[in-house]
Structure 1
Amino acid sequence: MDIHRAFAEAVAWQDGKLKRLGRVIMRREDLVVFAQRLSRADTVVVEATGNAASVAAVLTPHVRKVVIANPKQVRLIAHAKIKTDTIDAGVLAQLYASGFLPEVWIPDEPTQALRRQVTRRNQIVRQRSRLKNIIQSILHGHLVPSCPHQDLCGPMGRAWLIEQIVPEDERLAIERHLREFDRPGEDLKVVERDLARSALADDSAKRLMTIPGVDMVVALALTAAIGDVTRFDEPQKLVSYLGLNPSVRQSGPGPAYHGRITKQGRGHARGMLVEAAWAAARAPGPLRAFFLRIRVRRGQHVAAVATARKLAIVIWHLLTKGESYVWARPSLHAKKLRDLELKAGHGAERGRKGAAHAYNVKSHREEERRWVEQAEAAYARFVVGWNAHGPKRVRTGAATEVRR
């Protein structure tokens, strides 16, 4: 089926021949009527579109299997000069019949719901960031220096804004943008409350939050993107799924050239991992030592991407083995969980010392910090002088000398 917004073109591949089945209107009742014409032995192939998951949900009870194909890879395999909806549907059928169709994993309903909530939060945050950037551009256009406070739209930032000298029309524009900035604030609280409840009920998300730099937003974004981790046989496949593996060019007897990361797969999850890598680079532990080692040779931006790739590997091991991060700081993790509970709407327990109270004790925090700093120093000692390409071999006559 070649799916569009209003209709889909359907063809059947049977006994080596294509048969046109006509157009199907993209409404639930029309899809049900079309599905009833199919048999339990049929396999339906569609491209990944915005409504492909809903189409698969309607057709699945009536057929043997519904396959969702990667549209980008299908175009690379079957690029044609002559293109119609019937030809596109026929290409999907023939590629699947020959075993060359690049399939897309179909997540279950809870994972799809989590993905939708993560996307909604991302849209609200991007909308508010856009308005904040507009305000900053207005100030920049009138030679107003940068805001000395961390949050331009926070209480202190707004008090600073009132004191700045700008034309009256620009001041009115800033006030209008601030009102637009406040409007989705309540929606953001509702979405984050639902996400916090999902994180509290998900052991995988809480396990990922033991990693430094990974909070509720990053943990749920990765959980929603990965879904069932058992579909990745090894960590490198998860790295490739997130687009953090380097591109490779090699032909014939020549050497292989490795370039920038492929940036394929789920871009939002990849961005969340890079943000977590920057946060992990500021927290004590082996991840910071890894970041600093790469930064010396390649710069901080390459080091951040390399740390994000390292995080993806760590995440695969944690989810596969059902373990927490070995260098986690228990009081910090307890504080993260307590913040989740408050964000989820749990009542405050004033006067009672819970598991997160230890994070408020300075001596306890410093003791945990010293412990992970020792792990950071141990990693730095372990990799000093390490050569990624192995020992160098220098030929000296008939013998070969190994130099490290």
Structure 2
Amino acid sequence: MDVHRNFAQVAIVENGQVSQHGRFAMDRVAVLKFAETLTKKDDVVLEATGNTAAIVRLLEPFAHRVVIANPLQVRAIAWAKVKTDKIDAATLARQHAAQFLPEVWMPTEEVCERRRVIAERTQLVSQMTRLKNRIHSILHANLMPQETGRIFSAKGRAILEGLPLALDQMRMALRHHDEIQRLAAELALIDQDVARHALDDPEVRRLMTIGGVNVVVAASVLAAIGDIKRFSSSQRLVAYLGLNPSVHQSGDRPAYHGHITHQGNGHARSMLVEAAWVIGMGPGPLSAFFHRISLKRGQPVAAVATARKLAVLVWHMLTKEQDYTWVRPALLQYKLRALELISGRPSRRGGKTPGPARDYSIKPVRDAERDRVREAEKAYENFVASWKEQPPVKRNPPVKGESL
């Protein structure tokens, strides 16, 4: 099936012969009518598009298997000189029949829902940031940069109304401010939903044992990963998230490693980078790694390298079902209690028995945890202190007459 927005072109390969089945409209009734023509011996192939999940779930009960092709890797279609819908559909069928089709994993309905919630939250945060920047630009244009830190507080609208702004600018700023408050209310509902699911998800709690990883980072990464078992190694997960460096090598020249590939889920990758920045500000072996790379390559490169290290760590933790070794228990309980309050659970203030999250408010307990991870940080620094940079080995060309 060569799927488009309004229709799908169908080609059939049977016993090596290609026949065209025509096209049908992209609506539920037409898809189900096409599904009734399938048997449990038929394989259906289509490229990944925005409506792929709906098509797959409608066709799966009728077909033997529904295969999703990776559109970035189906080069026979992308490089074709003669390209039509019929040819594209036939090419997909031939490649699958020859078992040469790069497939894409189909996430479950639970994973799809998790991804939609994270995408909705990301969009709301982006809209709020854009509106805040517009208000900042109005205040800076009127020489009031000192007011930008107060107008988004509880009394921010009253402060904004008291500023000496032109009538049109005041109207614009107040409209943006009201829209921010509306979006903030929607964001609070989404965060409440994310918190409720996170409290019942052991994998989210496990990733939160890493310092610098909060519920948003953990939920975003898990939504992108789906089933960790589909990654046979940590390097495959790193490549899926686009955190592996690009490699260029040809002939007898040494390999050149460039920027990261930026493939895969960009939001999960950015969440890991944000977590890396937070980790760099606290103690621990990951912080020591961040600062070691930053001295050589700068902090932006160090943040990306630490994000890659985090992806490797996430794979091992999820695969082996183990928490982070250098977890800070009081900090973890504090984060979990914050999740409970966001999810809507009642406050326990004034109770006779304090909860475990109270330990993080006790300075000796907090300092003892930081001292423990600082010991791991010093151990890492001592371990890499003797490392020396080795220049790449240059191979001399063979002398004429010598065997290679």
Q: Which range, TM-score by smaller chain?
A: over 0.9
For 1:8 and 1:251, how far apart are their aligned partners in 2? 41
Between the aligned partners of 1:17 and 1:153, the Cα distance in structure 2 is: 66
Instruction: State the distance in 1 between where 2:209 and 2:328 align.
Output: 7
Cα 1:174–1:45 change in 2 (3 A) is same
Q: Mapping of 1:370-389 within 5 angstroms?
A: 370-387=371-388, 389=390
Letter in 2 for 1:361: I
- Report if the CA contact (8 A) 1:132-1:152 is conserved: no
Q: String of CA shifts for 1:143-171, please: whole Å, max 9, x gaps.
A: 3325563x752236656645644322112
Change in CA separation of 1:76 and 1:349 when aligned onto 2, cut-off 3 Å:
farther
Equivalent residue letter for 2:372: W
Aligned residue for 1:396?
A: none
Which residue of structure 2 aligns with residue 399 of structure 1? none
Q: Could you tell me which residue of structure 2 aligns to residue 402 of structure 1?
A: none
In the other structure, the counterpart of 1:401 is none
Equivalent in the alignment of 1:10: 10
Q: How does 1:53-64 map to 2 (within 5 A)?
A: 53-64=53-64
Q: CA deviation at 1:229?
A: 0.5
AA aligned to 1:381 is N
Letter in 1 for 2:368: E
Map 1:272-287 → 2, pairs under 5 A:
272-287=271-286
The residue matched to 2:72 in structure 1 has which SS? helix
Q: Which residue of 2 aligns with 1:365?
A: 366
Q: Deviations over 1:332-378 (max 9, x none)?
A: 10111111111111111122311111111111111111111111111
2:61 is paired with a residue whose SS is helix
The alpha-carbon distance between structure 1 residues 35 and 318, as it changes in their structure 2 partners (threshold 3 A), is same
- The 8 Å contact of residues 78 and 91 in structure 1, kept in 2 or not, is answered as no
Q: Judge conservation of contact 2:199–2:339 (CA < 8 Å) in 1.
A: yes
Relative distance call for 1:147 and 1:370 in structure 2 (3 A) is farther
Give ranges in structure 2 of 5+ residues lacking alignment: 395-404
1:135 maps to which residue? 135
TM-score (norm 1): 0.92
Where in structure 2 are the equivalents of 1:218-229 lying within 5 Å?
218-229=217-228
Cα RMSD over matched residues? 2.0
On the 8 A contact 2:11/2:89 being kept in 1, the answer is yes
Shift of 1:224: 0.6
SS of corresponding position for 1:67:
strand
Counterparts of 1:154 and 1:102, CA distance in 2: 51
Partner of 1:153: 152
Residue of structure 2 equivalent to 1:67: 67
Equivalent residues of 1:7, 1:23 under 8 A apart: yes
Whole-angstrom CA distance in 2 between matches of 1:135 and 1:376: 42
| CA–CA separation in structure 1 for the residues paired with 2:36 and 2:49 | 23
Cα distance in 1 for residues equivalent to 2:130 and 2:368: 41
The number of residues matched between the two structures is: 392
Partner of 2:400: none
Task: Note if contact 1:242-1:263 (Cα within 8 Å) is conserved in structure 2.
Answer: yes
Structure 1 residue identity aligned to 2:379 = A
Query: CA separation in 2, counterparts of 1:390 and 1:255?
Result: 11
Where 2:383 maps in the other structure, the secondary structure is helix
* Unmatched tracts of structure 1, length 5 or more: 394-404
Alignment of 1:179-218 (within 5 A): 179-218=178-217
SS of the residue 2:60 aligns to: helix
Matched AA of 1:79: W
What's the secondary structure of 1:72's corresponding residue?
coil
Asked if the contact 2:136/2:148 (under 8 Å) is kept, the reply is: no
State the TM-score, normalized to the length of structure 2.
0.92
**CA apart distance, 1:75:** 4.4
